């Protein structure tokens, strides 16, 4: 199974990257690996089945990857699930952000961060 580590082809001596014919290298983009996308899409599928969510978008940027969730396609996202590797050693690389920009949960474990989206009404027996 794929763990998300990129494959790097080396062509030079001592593990140096091979020289490319293009002098300008394309900027590195942050992305979700297969395990992360599986976790996110599991939550997304449950919410779609419940009729709460209808659409999503994935943005792969230089400093972070963003999975945006929409109630309707024409609206602003109601939640953003972000992966920011720069924050991995501090608050955690993963965060769930509401439409108003409030960080609902941040952490090192994506599954634990995504639990904030599953919280709903629960029956309490007295």
For residue 98, what are the CA distances in angstroms to 18, 44, 69, 77, 105? 43, 15, 10, 8, 10
Q: Where are the domains of the chain?
A: 29-118
CA atoms within 13 A on the CB side of 82: 25
pLDDT at 28 (0 to 100): 77
DSSP string, 52-84: S--EEEEEE-SS-EEEEEESSTTS--SEEEEE-
**pLDDT per residue over 39-72, tens digit each?**
999 999 999 998 888 999 999 989 889 999 998 8
In this predicted model, what pLDDT tens digit does every residue of 18-28 receive, in sequence order? 544 454 655 67
pTM of the predicted model, to two decimals?
A: 0.71
Predicted local distance difference test score (pLDDT) of residue 9? 47
Q: Tell me, what's the pLDDT at 92? A: 86
The rounded mean pLDDT for the chain is 80
């Amino acid at each position: 199974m794929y763990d998300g580590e990129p494959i790097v082809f080396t062509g030079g001596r001592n593990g140096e990257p091979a020289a490319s014919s293009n002098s300008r290298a394309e900027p590195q983009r942050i992305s979700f690996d297969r395990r992360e996308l599986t976790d996110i899409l599991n939550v997304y599928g449950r919410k779609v089945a419940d009729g709460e969510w209808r659409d999503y978008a994935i943005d792969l940027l230089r400093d972070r990857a963003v999975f945006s969730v929409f109630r309707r396609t024409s609206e602003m996202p109601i939640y953003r699930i972000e992966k920011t590797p720069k924050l991995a050693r501090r608050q955690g690389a993963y965060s769930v952000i509401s439409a108003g920009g409030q960080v609902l949960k941040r952490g090192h474990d994506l599954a634990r961060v995504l639990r904030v989206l599953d919280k709903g009404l629960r029956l309490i027996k007295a």
